[in-house]
Amino acid sequence: MENFNPKLAAWLKNEPAKEAGINNIQIPGKTENVIWQNRYREPTRYEQDLVAHLEQAFAAGAYELEELVSALNGQGLRNEAGEVWTTSNFQDEMARLGY
């Protein structure tokens, strides 16, 4: 079973298909169910760590941007560049990751 949707990577450019439904016609009872419909690749270790730390921050009651940034820094998590979190780079990272 796939951990991501391999067809999604082709759609990332937001360009409409030139041919409608080519090789994508679903036959009832014979359609493969892709669990991760909205992932074009598996998450990186960094992304998984970020999710885990965000879950801890939310569980501890951090809901505002400044609280989340403070919680991530307090937990010792750094961004992918190894820098401490700021409200600006956190917002940039969420936009980059598509959340």
| Contacts for 98 with CB less than 8 Å, ≥ 6 apart | none
Reported as a single tens digit per residue, the pLDDT across 6-59 is 666 665 566 666 666 655 666 667 766 666 666 778 889 999 999 999 999 999
pTM of the complete model beyond 0.75: no
**Domains of the chain, residue spans:** 1-42, 45-97
Residue 79 to residue 99: CA distance in whole angstroms: 15
Specify the pLDDT at position 4.
Answer: 75
